Amino acid sequence: MRNKTKASGKSSVNHEPVLQLRLYVAGQTPRSLAALSNLKRICAEHVDGKYQLEVIDLIKNPQLAQGDQILAIPTLVRNLPVPIRKIIGDLSNIDRVLVGLDLRGTDRASEQKSAPPARAIGAKL
Amino acid sequence: MAKRTKAVGIEIPSKGEPPSSLPKALTGISGLDEISGGGLPRGRATIVCGGPGCGKTMLGMEFLMRGAQEFNEPGVLIAFEETPQEMERNVASLGFDLKSLVDRKKLFLDYVYVEPSEIQETGDYDLEGLFIRLQHAVDTVGAKRIFLDTLEALFSGFSNEGVLRAELRRLFRWLKERNLTTVITAEKGEKTLTRHGLEEYVSDCVILLDHRVREQISTRRLRIVKYRGTSHGADEYPFLIDDRGISVLPVTSLEMQHQVTNERVPTGIADLDEMLGGKGFYKGSSVLISGTAGSGKTTMAATFVDAACRRGENCLFIGFEESVSQVSRNMRSVGLDLNQWVEKGLLVHEAWRPSQYGIEMHLLRIHKIVEAVKPQHVIIDPITNLITGSAPKEVYSMLIRLMDYLKGRQITSIFTNLTVKSEELEQTDIGISSLTDTWILCRDMELNGERNRCVYILKSRGMAHSNQVREFVMSHEGIRLVPPYIGSGRVLTGSSRAAQEAKERADALVRSQEIDQMQEALERKRNTLEAQIKVMKMDFAAEELELERIIRQQQSREKQLQVERDAMNRIRMGESDQTTDSAIAKSAGDGM
């Protein structure tokens, strides 16, 4: 699977939308905002701007949750390249985001931003 | 509520009367509303747990569909495991049209797909997406009911159990706040009710479903483990799923409030009617005909059917032993043509193997036929065979329910029961004799190398019945109950009765012949006497003549002597000698 996505990544370099992303949020919550800023930084550092991002606020469009099977908020959906990938959480664990988006091949700044508590379990209760 | 009757040790309110303390939502599932005392807790969550394939989803779906269809309470289905297409197919088998309910905005379906391999967790999250979807679904149809099948799928999708549990707690609060009557399903755990401990969050009502197989026959059971704030049936109740959905037994209420009637139903055997107070069974009563093999139970029941059909009454004959054609052939041999009634639509004759289903299925099938046919009389022949398929206790409870059900509908029921020939003839295997109103015992008596059928009435509630043992004679003209021969302190049957009767006739003949003979002898004696008298009279007459002659002789002789003496005297006196001589000569001549 990994090889396949890598190959498709290379071949799609010449075409316009290399990466098509959709971020589902529910209102302007701190977590949503954190997810958005984390995503923008990751994309800037690892994707060289060749991506499309669509932010969907489910508070405004609740019916859209059904289509992409959204349960967790925030959820980042990678529609292209296939297969579809879902990444949930505030995207604070950059390593995992890169694994999830299959961008591990262009590994450059993995040492960055791995310190903040990615699994803030107790805080939720 | 005041009319409630204690039954099976628990109080069970009748359908449609939820106690004022706790509002309830009727499920529309037959039987469940009875044992739960009016349905599931309204505005609260009910957890339905059990192993795989025990009918959890069916129960939830029926709750939802009936709510939308019968109680005008729109519903939301959140399916985690099955797609809407699969759900649609599943409920179509229960006769529900899911699509039309969705189109009419009575139902909203949302298929929640959780695929762990597609999900990468990268930090802090919650399940707000699920809540948004729920809210959207509820708002779309104005839902009053919601069914989540099954929330446990979330546990496989999200590795962060802490978040998940917090969100579940929030979910149940959320549902309660919106006053949604909720059903959630959960897989049964090893030692706990649910594998993931969902019952921890849902504490209002817990229903446990169970599916077990014994002797290759499966039985489903339902138990209300917990129902906060209300009394409920605590037993395990068998239930089944068929094309009408779920039916929890008791299908009927457990209350004993049958209306009774004084109307009588002739048995079809005039002599038997005579024994039953002259009129037959009570309408709507239950009759048990028990007896040894070949003692005429089925024939007696068939005779009843024949007579009832002749009166234009509908009958239902359910056979567990013989096929339909076999029964009708056999009954033709005693002059009963059951086929004609089938053709006229008065008799519905069904037969199936007792081992074909579990006991509940039998009950349900009978229910369904009874509902369809609406008979006045039901014959079940024999109940003994049911025991081969199930445990006696289950058969017992099934029969109680069946009897109750039929009584409640004023249907006369006749059960035949095969007893094994033993000392305890007056006992049924299943112990239902105490439940029946009339118990007729057919038995055979073996005497002088032959078996003869006898019948007597062991009990018959509410009527003066005969205490006689009658002989039961089956011929091509049907059943006849022959008055028993009661002589010399014994009841004689069959040929010995016939022999006894012949002997009596012979004895009588002999006696009358003896009288004739004696009368003849008397006559003869009289004749002899008369003859003797005649002879004696004749003798007497002859003697009389002789004696008279002798008397006359003597008299004349005396006279002669007198004459001679006179003559002597004259001679002695001299003058009269001549006269004396001549007188002697004369008298001598006379005497000659």
Residues B512, B472, single domain; the answer is no
For residue B445, with 0-12 CB atoms within 10 Å meaning exposed, 13-18 middle and 19 or more buried, which class applies?
middle
pLDDT band at B388 (very low <50, low <70, confident <90, very high): low
pLDDT band at B540 (very low <50, low <70, confident <90, very high): very high
Q: What is the pLDDT of residues B332-384, one digit of tens each?
A: 888 888 889 999 989 998 888 877 777 777 887 888 788 888 899 999 988 87
Domain end residue (candidates: B420, B452, B483): B483
Residues B430, B331, single domain; the answer is yes
Q: Rg for chain A (alpha carbons), in Å?
A: 15
- Contact criterion met (CB < 8 Å) for A89 and B129: no
Structural domain span for residue B43: 29-116+126-248
What kind and span of H or E run contains B452? strand B450-460
**Predicted ipTM of the assembly:** 0.72
| Nearest residue in B to A91, CA atom | B122
Q: Tell me the chain B residues in contact with residue A38 when contact means C-beta distances shorter than 8 Å.
A: 123
Q: Tell me the chain A residues in contact with residue B170 when contact means C-beta distances shorter than 8 Å.
A: none
Residues B270, B241, single domain; the answer is no
Domain end residue (candidates: B483, B513, B548): B483
Rounded Cα gap, residues B415 and B184, in angstroms: 43
Cα separations in angstroms, B453 against B280, B294, B443, B488: 20, 9, 6, 21
Nearest residue to B33 (alpha-carbon basis) of B236, B235, B232: B232
| Nearest residue in B to A120, CA atom | B124
User: Which of A31, A84, A88 is nearest residue B121 as measured by Cβ atoms?
Assistant: A88
User: Which of B110, B113, B127 is nearest residue A72 as measured by Cβ atoms?
Assistant: B127
Nearest residue to A65 (alpha-carbon basis) of A22, A124, A19: A22
B59 vs B431, residue with greater confidence: B59
- Contact criterion met (CB < 8 Å) for A84 and B135: no
Nearest residue to B354 (alpha-carbon basis) of B366, B336, B342, B369: B366
Residues B149, B59, single domain; the answer is yes
With b for 16 or more beta-carbon neighbours within 10 A and e for fewer, the B131-155 pattern comes to bbbbbbbbebbebbbbbbbbbbbbb
Q: What is the pLDDT of residues B435-492, one digit of tens each?
A: 788 888 887 777 777 777 888 888 888 888 888 788 888 888 778 887 766 655 566 6
Residues B308, B398, single domain; the answer is yes
Q: Tell me the chain A residues in contact with residue B132 when contact means C-beta distances shorter than 8 Å.
A: 26, 58-59, 62, 65, 70, 73
Q: Number of folded domains in chain B?
A: 3
Give the residue-averaged pLDDT of B379-393: 75
Give which of A84, A88, A94, A104 to mutate to test B binding, by max B Cβ within 10 Å: A88
Give the residue-averaged pLDDT of B24-32: 86
pLDDT at A120: 41
Residues B468, B521, single domain; the answer is no
- Tokens 């949020």 locate to A25
- Contact criterion met (CB < 8 Å) for B122 and A124: no
- Contact criterion met (CB < 8 Å) for A125 and B124: no
Tell me if chain A has a CB within 8 Å of the CB of B113: yes
In a domain, B273, yes or no: yes
Tell me if chain A has a CB within 8 Å of the CB of B122: yes
The sheet that has B315-319: what strands, in order across it? B347-351, B315-319, B377-381, B412-418, B286-291, B438-447, B450-460, B470-475, B478-482
Residues B174, B301, single domain; the answer is no
pLDDT at A13: 46
pLDDT at B585: 56
| Nearest residue in A to B170, CA atom | A125
Cα separations in angstroms, A104 against A47, B19, B128, B331, B538: 11, 63, 29, 86, 167
Give the residue-averaged pLDDT of B516-531: 93
Q: Tell me the chain A residues in contact with residue B126 when contact means C-beta distances shorter than 8 Å.
A: 31, 72-73, 124
Could you give the percent of chain B with pLDDT greater than 70? 86
In a domain, B4, yes or no: no
In the predicted model, is pLDDT for residue B251 greater than 60?
A: no
Q: What is the pLDDT of residues B138-170, one digit of tens each?
A: 999 999 999 998 888 888 888 888 888 888 889
Tell me if chain A has a CB within 8 Å of the CB of B159: no
Domains delineated in chain A: 2-8+17-104 (3.40.30.10)
